[in-house]
Amino acid sequence: MEIATVKAQNGKISFPYIPVAVFIGGTSGIGRATAEALARYTNGNANIIIVGRNRAAADSIIASFPRPSFPSVKHEFIQCDVTLLKNVRQATNEILSRHSKINVLVISTGEMELFNREITEDGLDRIVVLAYHSRWKFIHGFMPALAKAKEANEDAKVLSVASAGLGAKVDLEDLELKKVSLIPFLRSISTYNDLMVEGFALHFPSITFIHCSPGRVRTPLGSNSSSILFRTLSFLINSPFSPWYYYSLAPEDAGEYQLYGMLYTASTPGAWRITQDGSDLGKKGYNGDENARDVLWRYTLEVTSTK
């Protein structure tokens, strides 16, 4: 789908209420671009909460938002290192203390330290926590506020920015992903996100849950990696002197596409998978099943509920 078409459709966004939108990992890349697009199309009249580690970046983003017309509308930042699940719980509780309803939840946390499989104080793989456990815990914690928004006939949508369509069968005997090599590890994370949105849709059928694949996007994600491979790939994608640059999306366009996919493509409650341009992915590249969904749900509930 052409970006001009998507922008024209996004330009019609109109909420009959002041939406509350939470962006986890919203200080850079796709999360930042999606937050900026929502602020622009609502003329600043959306309660936007950015959760991340970089306060300076968040302050700059918030300063760029249009000034809201209503004094009750707030644009906020909450500092949180989501690799520790106690921090996820604390940030969730802080947001819920201020907002009883949440209409939009976008989670785009990640980093490119894939060769450094660090174990956190929770006893979990840091990358898996970023790409899965913390996302699951945020969604689960925000469910009362999402459900309350739906009960008020408002939007209630969750978007997990990951890698829909690039999954693989998961090993139910190795849900901590300790035994797999890099490529199966990454593909398993994709399937985990598929099963996560399906699990939440099963348990909370009135809410919309989405897993997207943004494709190659010109973000700084790999530029600070300790791996020379990922720093090189980041340079090739982000440098206008590289041919890869022209086969990747600007973050601003990726934000437009994901906002479109969340608000228009995923038009009904349930589990959705969307593509780089916000279209419906359907079951392409799907590698889950009901048993894997249920086993992973029980495992994750047990792991995250004690942290």
| 70 to 44, 99, 100, 286, 289: CA distances (angstroms) | 9, 16, 18, 44, 47
pTM of the shown model = 0.93
What pLDDT score does 231 carry? 54
Partners of 208 in the β-ladder: 157, 270
Element holding 39 (H helix, E strand): helix 29-41
> What does the radius of gyration of the chain's CA atoms come to, in whole angstroms?
18
Structure tokens at 275: 């593509």
Superfamily of domain 3-306: NAD(P)-binding Rossmann-like Domain (3.40.50.720)
Contact 20, 49 (CB under 8 A): yes
CA distance 158 to 117: 28
Contact 192, 186 (CB under 8 A): no
Contact 126, 240 (CB under 8 A): no
What pLDDT score does 223 carry? 54
What pLDDT score does 295 carry? 98
Average pLDDT for consecutive 10-residue bins of the chain (307 residues)?
Answer: 96 97 93 96 98 95 96 96 97 98 95 72 93 97 98 98 95 93 92 98 98 82 54 60 69 96 98 97 96 98 90
What pLDDT score does 189 carry? 95
Cβ-defined contacts of 222-226 (< 8 Å, 24+): 222/112, 225/111, 225/112, 225/113, 226/113, 226/115, 226/116
Secondary structure E strands in 138-191:
157-161
3-class state of residue 51 by DSSP: strand
What pLDDT score does 216 carry? 79
| 211 to 41, 50, 190, 292: CA distances (angstroms) | 23, 20, 9, 17
Contact 53, 93 (CB under 8 A): no
Cβ-defined contacts of 126-130 (< 8 Å, 24+): 126/83, 127/185, 127/189, 128/176, 128/177, 128/189, 128/192, 129/82, 129/83, 129/85, 130/82, 130/83
What pLDDT score does 306 carry? 81
CA distance 243 to 216: 13
What pLDDT score does 114 carry? 63
